[in-house]
């Protein structure tokens, strides 16, 4: 076809159709009219119900992954919350257990302090309280170290008590501490009195692998001593005040072929668990440094230097006539 024969004019109106703006205007007016009619007359309610019924299975199917994710998230959240609560409960239980242990320890310490105060009221000698720091490093001895020393006026040889009875004796004094030798040490000796019979004797420490008590040496076989007798300080040594509980007889063995009986006693005090002690002050006439190596002489035997000569027999040095 020749180019001159082409029609360059726009198509007529009925072939082109309405414009987009016209369509928008018409459709908007129709939508507004339908909304007004539906609001006034409720004409679209059955249609809406039918459409909702038809698309409900599709909505339910689409919502299942969302609900599953919500349930899984809630499960893990509750699990984490339960674990956190369990951890908090465990921590609270541990704190309560520690507090309970501290309460029991404080109650025991309070009881021992009360016993110690009661012992201090019974003892008329000047005294001061001290705390046991640690056991001595020597495994072959029974010694403890206390927190009172030369600065606080602790003297070497001073008696040491706990809340129930005699515990030991100060054997070494430092500026800020002191070493206490317990009654159960093998080098320790103390003059005791049988409160039932009034008989005096010497009690030596008896510390071994399976024993930690006292032994009454040089006790005659026929001596009146029984299991259960209470032993107290006699006071004749000038170191320990008289009447302080020392131990209780636990074993008496007599053999006809032996001159002495084997007598063992258990300390009234608790040397292995003492925490607070009472340190007595030595009398003014007691020499410093009185320790276990300076044990009293045997009862009933005078030192040779003080033995008197008989009538008509001149005394000589050493006590020999």
Q: Tell me the C-alpha distance between 181 and 271, whole Å.
A: 10
- CATH no., domain 127-295: 2.40.10.340
Count of beta carbons in the 10 Å neighbourhood of residue 103: 10
Task: Parse the chain into domains and list their residue ranges.
Answer: 38-122, 127-295
pLDDT at 120: 62
pLDDT at 3: 55
pLDDT at 180: 93
pLDDT at 286: 64
DSSP letter string, 126-142: -EEEEEEEEE-S-TTS-
Q: Average pLDDT by consecutive 10-residue portion of the chain (321 residues)?
A: 57 63 89 84 78 84 86 86 85 75 67 67 75 84 90 91 88 92 90 90 77 84 90 87 89 87 90 86 67 43 39 39 35
pLDDT at 317: 38
With residue 202 as reference, give the H or E element that holds it: strand 200-207
Q: What is the dihedral of CA 69, 70, 74, 77, to 10 degrees?
A: 60
Continuous H helices in 123-224 = none
Q: Tell me the C-alpha distance between 125 and 120, whole Å.
A: 8
pLDDT at 256: 80
Over the stretch 274-321, which tens digit does the pLDDT of each residue have?
A: 888 889 888 776 666 554 444 444 444 443 433 333 333 443 434 333
The model's pTM: 0.54
Q: Tell me the C-alpha distance between 193 and 190, whole Å.
A: 10
């Amino acid at each position: 076809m020749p180019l001159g024969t082409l029609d360059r004019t726009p198509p007529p109106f009925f072939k082109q159709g309405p414009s987009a703006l016209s369509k928008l205007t018409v459709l908007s007016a129709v939508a507004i009219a339908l909304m007004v009619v539906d609001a006034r007359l409720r004409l679209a309610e059955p249609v809406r119900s039918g459409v909702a019924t038809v698309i409900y299975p599709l909505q339910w199917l689409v919502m299942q992954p969302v609900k599953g994710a919500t349930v899984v998230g809630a499960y893990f959240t509750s699990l984490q919350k339960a674990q956190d609560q369990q951890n908090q409960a465990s921590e609270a239980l541990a704190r309560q257990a520690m507090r309970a242990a501290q309460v029991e320890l404080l109650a025991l310490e309070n009881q021992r302090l009360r016993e110690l105060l009661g012992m201090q009221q019974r003892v008329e000698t000047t005294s001061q309280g001290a705390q046991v720091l640690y056991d001595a490093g020597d495994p072959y001895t029974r010694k403890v170290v206390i927190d009172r020393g030369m600065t606080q006026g602790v003297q070497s040889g001073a008696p040491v008590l706990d809340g129930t009875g005699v515990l030991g004796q100060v054997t070494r004094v430092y500026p800020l501490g002191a070493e206490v030798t317990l009654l159960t040490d093998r080098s320790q000796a103390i003059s005791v009195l049988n409160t039932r019979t009034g008989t005096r004797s010497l009690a030596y420490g008896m510390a071994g692998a399976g024993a930690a008590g006292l032994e009454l040496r040089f006790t005659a076989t026929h001596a009146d001593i029984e299991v259960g007798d209470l032993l107290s300080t006699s006071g004749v040594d000038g170191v320990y005040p008289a009447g302080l509980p020392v131990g209780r007889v636990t074993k008496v063995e007599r053999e006809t072929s032996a001159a002495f009986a084997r007598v063992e006693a258990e300390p009234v005090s608790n040397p292995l668990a003492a925490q607070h002690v009472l340190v007595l002050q030595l009398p003014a006439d007691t020499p410093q440094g009185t320790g276990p190596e300076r044990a009293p002489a045997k009862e009933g035997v005078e030192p040779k230097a003080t033995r008197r000569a008989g009538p008509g027999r001149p005394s000589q040095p050493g006590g020999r006539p």
